[in-house]
Amino acid sequence: MKLTCDAELRPYNSFGVAARAACLAEIHAGEDLEQAIELADSRDLPLLLLGGGTNVLFAGDFPGMVLLMRNRGIEIDRESGLVRIAAGENWHELVQICLENGLYGLENLALIPGSAGAAPVQNIGAYGVELESYFIELELFDCADGSRRVMSREDCGFSYRDSVLKQPRSQPQVVCSLTLQLSREPAPNMSYPALAEELKGIAGEPAPQDIFEAVCRIRRRKLPDPAKIGNAGSFFKNPVISQEEFEQLRNRFCSPPSFPAKTGVKVPAGWLLDQCGFKGYRKGAAGVSEHHALVLINRGGATGKELHQLAMKMRDRAFAEFGITLEPEVRIIGANL
């Protein structure tokens, strides 16, 4: 186990903000995890699990031990379509590897940043597909009691960008690996309007590789590259409102964008924030993308506190304008919410 004390966290978060942790442990195997937790217990340090750091905002320092998942390995059974992935694997690279091996279903989830272990926690989704549809099970280590167990799809309690794994706990639960069931037969999903529009020029039914490339093009147009401009992608979840609330919205706007949801109508948070004038907004080095009002960006030198203050300003403005509460999709560390 590689251990760093008084660790700088700027390299480990895609916003690129400065923050420090009392300790940072790089986890490559199960024994590393157990050793790190024993050390944290001996020093009475709280634990924070970190994967790719692409869905977190450090609004302050973390006074404990950060567990940085770096375990690797992908096992593919082409006959059954089962794929077992170590938590530290890069998600986008996994999607590419599955395509290369003739296993399909994840192509709509291309270019989502972060690690594989974070995928079930967030129940990642994009362009008409959610991880839940392909999920079989995961292996979990509970830092509270040192137990290990396997969790099924039902155990995970998946919902929109959420799971039971995302709920606050005094000690984290660590996803060590996950198993997915993919298809050997292409089954293109073009239910998302923007994706269908992108694929209009394809003669016949698009192949999975066509969908993969189209999703990558759309995401690159809409989202800045974190290697160039600090960001964590979409900052807020798309809110689900009642049909009555949506009718009120439709009375104000001719054709507000919407999508059906299990419990009402889903409205794009980016559209709401755009109506509030936040696209391209900036306050010092903290700002909002010129291309998408849902993406907060670090223009260079912004602090996590400044970005958090901007996010809360956006949330409050949206509520004042529409009576709709926006919930952060990004995990916020070190702030009093």
Residue 337 has pLDDT above 70, yes or no: no
pLDDT by residue (tens digit) across 150-165?
A: 999 999 999 988 999 9
CATH architecture for residues 224-333: Alpha-Beta Complex (3.90)
Contact, 334 vs 18, CB < 8 A? Answer: no
| CATH 3.30.43.10 describes domain 2-69 | yes
321, 327, 328, 334: CA torsion to nearest 10 = 100
**45-64 per-residue burial string, b: 16 or more CB within 10 A, e: under 16:** bebbbbbbbbbbbbbbbbeb
pLDDT by residue (tens digit) across 198-231?
A: 999 888 899 999 999 999 999 999 889 998 999 9
Q: Where are the domains of the chain?
A: 2-69, 74-219, 224-333
pLDDT by residue (tens digit) across 72-100?
A: 999 999 999 999 999 999 999 999 999 99
Containing H/E element for 69?
strand 62-69
What is the share, in percent, of the chain residues with pLDDT greater than 90?
A: 87
246/111 Cα distance (integer angstroms): 31
What is the rounded average pLDDT of the residues 229-256? 93
107/93 Cα distance (integer angstroms): 11
Q: What is the pTM of this model?
A: 0.88
* Domain range 74-219, its CATH number among 3.30.390.50, 3.30.465.10, 3.40.1280.10, 3.40.50.720: 3.30.465.10
pLDDT by residue (tens digit) across 22-81?
A: 999 999 998 999 999 999 999 999 999 998 999 999 999 999 999 999 999 999 999 999
Q: From 92, 15, 94, 93, select the one nearest 50 (Cα to Cα).
A: 15
The burial of 171, by beta-carbon neighbours within 10 Å (0-12 exposed, 13-18 middle, 19 or more buried), is given as middle
Residues with catalytic annotation? 161, 234, 329
